[in-house]
Structure 1
Amino acid sequence: MRLSLGPVLFYWSREKLLAFYEAMAGQPLDIIYLGETVCSKRRALSLDDWLALARELRSGSSVEVVLSGLALVEAASELSSLKRLCENGELRVEANDMGAVQLLAERRLPFVAGPALNLYNPYALQELIDCGLQRWVPPVECSGQLVRDCLLQLDALGIARPEVELFAYGHLPLAYSARCFTARAENRPKDDCQLCCQKHVEGLPMLSQEGERLFVLNGIQTMSGEASNLLGDYPGLVDCGVDILRLSPRGEGMQQVIAAFDAVREGASPPIATSGCNGYWHGQPGMLRVGEVLS
């Protein structure tokens, strides 16, 4: 089982981003995703900056670096930027929008299908495999049974399985909207948001009337209130055919998270109890924390 570090989903300053990736260098990671997937107004690092950072991370290391694209492309300028990203000439791209799939397929470039693509069955996977899909990150609401069934159906159709990368840790990206929820929370128009989401290192919590953490607002993205954590489900992930576990960056404590997942994949016993939610994996409401139920 390999470990990947997903793209940073929150808006961090240039200094924080560079410091974060400096701390990630040398961690037991096999794949690192770089780039902006949420909002094109977040320009702390340019494409050239991401490429320079990728070169640093790969220097003297076997780590694979992938560039991630936007999940919601709304303007011609965003499409132009996406085209530049797809034509970077150095790194594989994670497509989070079908526009990226088309651009990459036209150029016959292999790609990663990110979790924002709605790929839930073997026929949809087959279409994109024909376009160059080599790695599939299932949507975060997929259960273990759905992933397992998809892979078995691919086998039955005689289609070579792509690599399967599962979102295993972090706040789940649940939905995207043309409206910026963080700006709305501060009574700002989206066009004059003043980049207010940068004030929230891990997004803006949204609580119920009882004070329960339901969601996290992250610009145009709605995320799970609690971080998902599938570490305790590790044996079921292996049995399901998962190849890679994605750990989504958080503001603090990522070294400890990576160390815990690395220890389990190296043979340590999975913890009996972990914090965070895992309901989706078990076919239950995503916000729940349920015990291991897969054989």
Structure 2
Amino acid sequence: MTATDSATASPASSTGTRSGPRLSLGPISYYWPKDQVDAFYQQVEHLPVDIVYLGETICSKRNEVRFEDWLAIGERLAASGKEVVLSTLSLLEAESELLRLRAICENEGFLVEANDMGAVQLLRGRPFVVGHSVNVYNDRSLAVLARSGLKRWVLPVELTADCLADMQRLRPAGIETEVYAYGRLPLAYSARCFTARARNLPKDDCRYCCIDYPDGLEVATQDDQGFLVLNGIQTQSARTNNLLPELPRLRELDVDILRISPQAQGTDAIVQLFDQALRGDKTPAEASAAIQPLMPSGACDGYWHGEAGMDQVAQV
């Protein structure tokens, strides 16, 4: 996201009083140059998000921004009034990754989002968050995690609104619920790097080619329809999950936090539109219509409605 793009895309400032869920900004899923990451979070300091997740969650070889850099970014964001959470890798394969995981979990300054059960084990006895890659599918799982220190959980993206309703009725007291409300859907993780494979490169000599795809590498069907996105070891949906039209239902379900996943362009405008809908300056439908041009490959919301994930059910 550049300053020029930001100025062009950002809507007018919100004026109403925000009600309902808080807003969070998820960790950057893609491999961006350090200068781009630094510029992005300088803008985030001034955006109306309450919580910011930081760190590398996909591949440990992405080292443009190192652990010490993430801590420094976190300090600046905390000074601007944001709650900062450090996110862990979703798939660990090497001892070096375990050492990094321990450093994150042992930090004294910030809450940690555990993205696999190894991180949960290291965080037992301390407050922590579990991300959408941890398979929390029922209230019994929530209860087990709550006894270990769980503060907040993120709904797995494949679960439906009706499933969430059941879990909300039985969730342990004091546990916050966060929903992945905007962003390409994280579908799968693999030991193989599909981006490197697409360039005919082995994973061990990938030449860090992910950095050439700031929103991932889109895969199309034979009739040229966007289908999936390759993001290193992660596979994402080509379409962007957008639950902003579901804001009344999300409020009814007592969801505490809505997560927006960063994209290379337009994230600031998307945050502003969510904020305006929460404040009542725009209806959810109006804000969602304004978001449509900012999506790389169109919208989807099928999982939320119990349909195929790539479907768009809500009419905007």
Which ranges in structure 2 are unaligned for 5 or more consecutive residues? 1-20, 293-298
Query: Is 1:197 matched up with 2:230?
Result: no
Q: Measure the CA separation in 1 of the matches of 2:257 and 2:186.
A: 18
Q: Measure the CA separation in 1 of the matches of 2:35 and 2:71.
A: 16
Q: Measure the CA separation in 2 of the matches of 1:91 and 1:212.
A: 42
SS of 1:112's partner is strand
Q: Which amino acid aligns with 1:207?
A: A
Query: Is 1:126 matched up with 2:143?
Result: yes
Query: Is 1:135 matched up with 2:152?
Result: yes
Q: Size of the alignment, in residue pairs?
A: 285
Q: Which amino acid aligns with 1:110?
A: P
Aligned to 2:90: 71
Q: Measure the CA separation in 2 of the matches of 1:182 and 1:291.
A: 32
TM-score of the superposed pair, with normalisation by structure 2: 0.88
Q: Which amino acid aligns with 1:112?
A: V
Aligned to 1:49: 69
Q: Measure the CA separation in 1 of the matches of 2:82 and 2:161.
A: 27
Q: Residues 151 and 161 of structure 1 are in contact (CA less than 8 Å); yes or no, is this contact kept in structure 2?
A: no
- State the Cα distance separating 1:291 from its structure 2 match: 2.1
Q: Deviations over 1:163-198 (max 9, x none)?
A: 111000011111100000000001100000010010
Q: Measure the CA separation in 2 of the matches of 1:241 and 1:7.
A: 24
- State the Cα distance separating 1:153 from its structure 2 match: 2.8
Q: Deviations over 1:10-33 (max 9, x none)?
A: 000111100111111111010000
- State the Cα distance separating 1:161 from its structure 2 match: 5.0
Equivalent of residue 28 in structure 1, options 39, 48, 51:
48
- State the Cα distance separating 1:87 from its structure 2 match: 0.6
Tell me the C-alpha RMSD between the 2 structures: 1.1
Which ranges in structure 1 are unaligned for 5 or more consecutive residues? none
Aligned to 1:8: 28
Q: Displaced runs of 4+ in structure 1, greater than 6 A? A: none
SS of 1:287's partner is coil
Q: Measure the CA separation in 2 of the matches of 1:151 and 1:25.
A: 32
- State the Cα distance separating 1:104 from its structure 2 match: 0.4
TM-score of the superposed pair, with normalisation by structure 1: 0.94
Q: Measure the CA separation in 2 of the matches of 1:163 and 1:261.
A: 20
SS of 1:52's partner is helix
SS of 2:285's partner is coil
Q: Measure the CA separation in 2 of the matches of 1:220 and 1:212.
A: 22
Q: Deviations over 1:98-140 (max 9, x none)?
A: 00000000xx211001000000101111111111111010111
Identity %: 49
Equivalent of residue 95 in structure 1, options 99, 105, 114:
114
Q: Measure the CA separation in 1 of the matches of 2:253 and 2:225.
A: 32
- State the Cα distance separating 1:62 from its structure 2 match: 2.2
Q: Which amino acid aligns with 1:39?
A: C
Aligned to 1:220: 233
Query: Is 1:279 matched up with 2:298?
Result: no
Q: Measure the CA separation in 2 of the matches of 1:291 and 1:75.
A: 42
SS of 1:271's partner is helix
Query: Is 1:186 matched up with 2:180?
Result: no
SS of 2:284's partner is coil
- State the Cα distance separating 1:46 from its structure 2 match: 1.1
SS of 1:39's partner is coil
SS of 2:300's partner is coil
Q: Measure the CA separation in 1 of the matches of 2:198 and 2:112.
A: 33
